[in-house]
Amino acid sequence: MFIFSRNNRGTLANWWWTIDKPLLFFITLIIAIGALLNFSASPAVANRIGAGSFHFIKRQFIFLPIAYGIMLFFSLQNLKNIRRTAVLGYIGTVILMILTLFLGEETKGAQRWLPIGGFSLQPSEFIKPTFIVVAAWLFEGQKKYQDFPGNFLSVGLFGFTLLLLLLQPDVGMSIVVTVIWFFQFFLAGLPFLIVIILGTLFIIAAGAAYFIFPHVQVRIQQFLASENNLSYQVKKSMEAFENGGFFGTGPGEGVVKMHIPDAHTDFIFAVAAEEYGMILCLFIVAIYATIVIRSLLISLKDNNLFIILSASGLAASFGLQGIINMASTLHLIPTKGMTLPFISYGGSSLFGVALGMGMLLAITRKNVHAEDQDE
């Protein structure tokens, strides 16, 4: 196409020749797999609540084009606009999270959803990508400007973000944000003594969460329970893996989805295991790993600290969320109520991950410095 000619200096042509195409392909592939699995998992859940077989599918196929558009739009941006987006997005998300504490809907003991025009928005889904990029900018500022207290500001921002998440409470998201921030701080040159201190504090905080939050205590007790005392959803999830074997029972032939309340969200990986077998599950794991590893390799080739920290953080966040969801489904860790990125049903989850991946695609573009007026 003429628009993608190397001689064309337009925005779209420049985007096409600078975007990391393998990364874009694998992200698109995981989105396509998610659409396929929603066709398998959603109708049974919708029928069980009396909403009509295609209720969730119709909603998801409204969300998907919007999410993909969000990702492509932000992948077009330069570093200056990505930083602005992160700052404004973080401020907006914080405001919405505070409103959620007062006006939000409570589900399963957590107040994370804000009703907006018939749609339940989960603002905390947007805190991860925006916080990661803002933290990367602050860490870069510490190295770049002698009198700029970037590390101190980042610690304060992290503490404030963690407080908002724990007030909901959202322990799973708190763990992800903590691990990613710690990872970024480590890459930015965190002294080894502070690594030990922060690591110790994290272990103490994790132990305290067991006694402070009743739902955390219940989930850990269920995780440690004998096979007969496993939670209903985990027990059914394990049955799905047993039924599926290596090649699966076949598309639409799974039965466990008829019984798992969250088959289309937190336990969609179990549906994939039963109907398509371990072969698809391993393929999904491989795609997530490829996206994360490729992003890390691209970012580490750059000498710009902001690119290294933000790209590494966004990629690690994407991979860690996937690991937590899949490990919970396989009963390797306590359940966290965390979606599988780009695969689980849900508008907030899709849009939040799309924002993060859009910024990642922008940051990992070739010669992105040339478009950044601040560089």
Q: Which residues, including other chains, have CB under 8 Å from residue 17's CB and lie 6 or more apart?
A: 4, 6, 366
Q: How confident is the model at residue 141 (pLDDT cuts 50, 70, 90)?
A: very high
Q: What is the pLDDT of residues 322-338, one digit of tens each?
A: 999 999 998 888 877 78
Amino acid letter, residue 350: L
| Tokens 């601040």 found at | 374
Sheet of strand 119-121: strand arrangement = 105-107, 110-116, 119-121
| Tokens 């007026």 found at | 373
Compute the 3-state secondary structure of the chain and give helix, strand, coil in percent, each to the nearest 5: 75, 5, 25
pLDDT above 90: percentage of residues in the chain:
53
Beta bridge partners, 121, equal 114
Q: What is the pLDDT of residues 25-79, one digit of tens each?
A: 999 999 999 999 998 888 888 888 888 888 889 999 999 999 999 999 999 999 9
Alpha carbons 203 and 334: distance in angstroms, whole number: 16
Q: How confident is the model at residue 219 (pLDDT cuts 50, 70, 90)?
A: low
Alpha carbons 105 and 120: distance in angstroms, whole number: 8
Q: Quick one: pLDDT at residue 2?
A: 46
Q: What is the pLDDT of residues 146-195, one digit of tens each?
A: 889 999 999 999 999 999 998 888 888 888 999 999 999 989 887 777 77
pLDDT above 70: percentage of residues in the chain:
90
Q: Quick one: pLDDT at residue 4?
A: 60
Answer whether residue 1 shows pLDDT above 60: no
| Tokens 């401020």 found at | 91
The answer to whether the pTM exceeds 0.85 is yes
Q: How confident is the model at residue 6 (pLDDT cuts 50, 70, 90)?
A: low
- DSSP string covering 199-227: HHHHHHHHHHHHHH-HHHHHHHHHHHS-G
Angle between helices 171-187 and 192-212 (to 10 degrees): 180
b/e burial code for range 90-128 (CB count within 10 A of at least 16 → b): beebbebbeebeeebeeeeebbbbbeeeeeebbbbbbbb
| Tokens 């393998």 found at | 22
- Residue pair 46/54 in contact (Cβ under 8 Å)? The answer is yes
Task: Write out the two tokens for 71.
Answer: 């990702």
